Amino acid sequence: MNDDAVLIRELKAHDGREVSIRGWLHGRRASGKIAFLLVRDGTGTVQCVVEAAHGEAFRAAAEIGHESSPRVRGTVRLDERAQGGAELAVTGIEVVQNVADYPIARKEHGVDFLMTHRHLWLRSPRQCAILRIRDALIRSIQAFFAERGFVRIDTPILSPGAAEGAGTLFPVDYFGEKVFLAQTGQLYLEAAAMALGRVYCFGPTFRAEKSKTRRHLTEFWMVEPEVAWAELPDLMDLAEGLICRLVADVLAGHRADLALLDRDVAPLEKIVAPFPRITYSEAVEQLRSPATHERLQAGLEADRRRLVEDQARLADLEAQLAAAKKGWQQEKLGREIAVLRESVRDLGQDLENRPAHIEGARTFAWGHDLGGDEETILTRLHDRPILVSRYPRDVKAFYMKPDPADPRVVLNLDVLAPEGYGEIVGGSQREDRLDALQARMREENMDPAPYEWYLDLRRHGTVPHGGFGLGLERTVAWICGLRHIRETIPFPRLMGRIYP
Ligand code: 4AD
Ligand code: MG
């Protein structure tokens, strides 16, 4: 069979013609003298109808296993009801490799198993949808900044010092010298901003996060704009504009992918400017207020009732599974049970921790950093991302500029994504005065030697400036509605996970 293969996505344009496609077997069904193969090629999935009259193809169709790689020849038939609008009436099948033992069955698998088989798990429709949305976000980010005259700067990954705290550095042996994987491109970007005005970097960054959470990777991608002459309100406008653009582009181009992920798009459709802008001190008030407390308690009661309902439904599905006779019924029920069981387990855990979080919010003391739990609570009080500014200086990075009106706080911003997702953006106006920066570095016991070049920027034409970083994976998790960050990147790096 020669390789005049067409992409499944383009089949509709070949109505009535005999063509061949190449791909992987996604599913199979037989009924008497007819077999149906679902073949996917990355651009789409098509049903291939094989009749017994085509003896050789029919035999091949009977033997071919899940994720085998066939070339399939057949006549294209437009069909409104078919996935992708067309199906293939098969005339021949060439099996490049027949697979009998694909490890990811259609039945349920635990997350650990799937993560260990990540190289194969990527082939599932859900994972493909996530990766397409990730790609769309990357392109959207690049377009957003290019349209505004930003120059992309690629900052180094090997760096001599810390920028986001010494506690999360990955050391690397650099010809006998101890250097580190970059936690951010920001400091280098500040140099580039003094050269080009508006710049951004977009690349992998590394943090030795020693905690296993739903929000932390040890290797993640961050887009960081840095703008000369920008002050805090300018940075807020820029972050708001970027986030609105990202959501709008995904809604415009990826409805089918969002549907495949069962993402409720109603909350995404509300993501339009202006976002609420509050200070850290106001956030603390909101956390501590009796009205918030009542709301959180009511939410807790509602979720407790939901858990009981879900548990009953799970028991019911399990009984149905025990009674199911047909293979396809067992598969379908098995999948439903796996999804529900995971959500029941998560909700159960969440409900166990919730009373402590609610109490933590009620008694939250000014001066502490907002943690994931506080962020989750705050975001549930709003239906748009919130811009929180002016955190206590003592919990923030050395390069942030104190607020001249209240030096206990810095001119920073965090953006908290709604629906409990929490921080997706962190940034600030930078300390642009040499003496103030040096004083803060002494206070933090930082060795100035690796930072002399950075201090130089404050010696030679210093100006107000600032920027922020948006975490790509947290943004993907939020927009896709994923519970855990591990599915947002092709090969996640987490504490305790480096394979595959
Ligand atoms: O708030 P962060 O630490 O800010 C910076 O790194 C600044 N230097 C950025 C800047 O001003 N140019 O990180 C920024 C964002 C976070 O809001 C979050 O979205 C993401 O990066 N992030 C992580 N994402 C996944 N896993 C982790 N361990 C992350 N740490 C930060
Ligand atoms: Mg941060």
* Closest CA relative to residue 487, chosen from 497, 495, 477, 475: 477
Question: What is the structure's pLDDT at 173?
Answer: 97
What separation in Å is there between the alpha carbon of 43 and the centre of ligand 1? 33
How confident is the model over 51-99, as pLDDT tens digits? 999 999 999 999 999 999 999 999 999 998 888 899 999 999 999 999 9
- How would you list the strands of the sheet with 171-174, edge to edge? 158-159, 177-181, 171-174
What residue owns the CA closest to ligand 1's atom 30? 216
Question: What is the structure's pLDDT at 210?
Answer: 87
Tell me if 155 CB under 6 Å of ligand 1: no
The upper half-sphere exposure of residue 392, i.e. CA atoms within 13 Å in the direction of its Cβ, equals 11
Question: What is the structure's pLDDT at 2?
Answer: 52
How confident is the model over 141-163, as pLDDT tens digits? 999 999 999 999 999 999 998 88
Q: Tell me how many degrees the CA angle 414-415-417 measures, rounded to the nearest 5.
A: 145
Distance in angstroms (rounded) separating the CA atoms of residues 162 and 394:
17
What separation in Å is there between the alpha carbon of 98 and the centre of ligand 1? 45
Question: What is the structure's pLDDT at 130?
Answer: 98
* Closest CA relative to residue 418, chosen from 477, 488, 470: 477
Does residue 168 register a pLDDT over 70? Answer: yes
For residue 289, name the pLDDT band (cuts at 50, 70, 90).
very high
Distance in angstroms (rounded) separating the CA atoms of residues 466 and 248:
26
What separation in Å is there between the alpha carbon of 436 and the centre of ligand 1? 24
Q: For residue 399, what is the DSSP state?
A: T
The upper half-sphere exposure of residue 53, i.e. CA atoms within 13 Å in the direction of its Cβ, equals 5
How confident is the model over 101-125, as pLDDT tens digits? 999 976 678 889 999 999 999 999 9
Distance in angstroms (rounded) separating the CA atoms of residues 59 and 53:
10
Through-space distance between the first and last CA atoms of the chain, rounded to whole angstroms:
35
**Least confident among 233-242, 371-380, 468-477:** 371-380
How confident is the model over 185-202, as pLDDT tens digits? 999 999 999 999 999 999
Question: What is the structure's pLDDT at 311?
Answer: 97
- CA distances 300 to 178, 214, 305, 314, 345, Å, are 49, 20, 9, 21, 16
The upper half-sphere exposure of residue 125, i.e. CA atoms within 13 Å in the direction of its Cβ, equals 16
Tell me if 44 CB under 6 Å of ligand 1: no
Atom of ligand 1 nearest to the CA of 183: 6
Distance in angstroms (rounded) separating the CA atoms of residues 257 and 136:
11
Atom of ligand 1 nearest to the CA of 209: 28
Does residue 346 register a pLDDT over 90? Answer: no
Question: At 249, which helix (H) or strand (E)?
Answer: helix 232-253
Question: At 160, which helix (H) or strand (E)?
Answer: none
* Helix, strand, coil in percent for the chain, rounding step 5: 45, 25, 30
What separation in Å is there between the alpha carbon of 313 and the centre of ligand 2? 39
How confident is the model over 388-414, as pLDDT tens digits? 999 999 999 999 999 999 999 999 999
What residue owns the CA closest to ligand 1's atom 10? 468
What separation in Å is there between the alpha carbon of 339 and the centre of ligand 1? 30
Regarding beta strands 465-471 and 412-417, do their DSSP bridges make them parallel or antiparallel, or are they unpaired? unpaired
Tell me if 375 CB under 6 Å of ligand 1: no
What separation in Å is there between the alpha carbon of 476 and the centre of ligand 1? 14
Give helix 290-323 / helix 372-380 axis angle, nearest 10°. 90
Read off the pTM: 0.95
What residue owns the CA closest to ligand 1's atom 22? 471
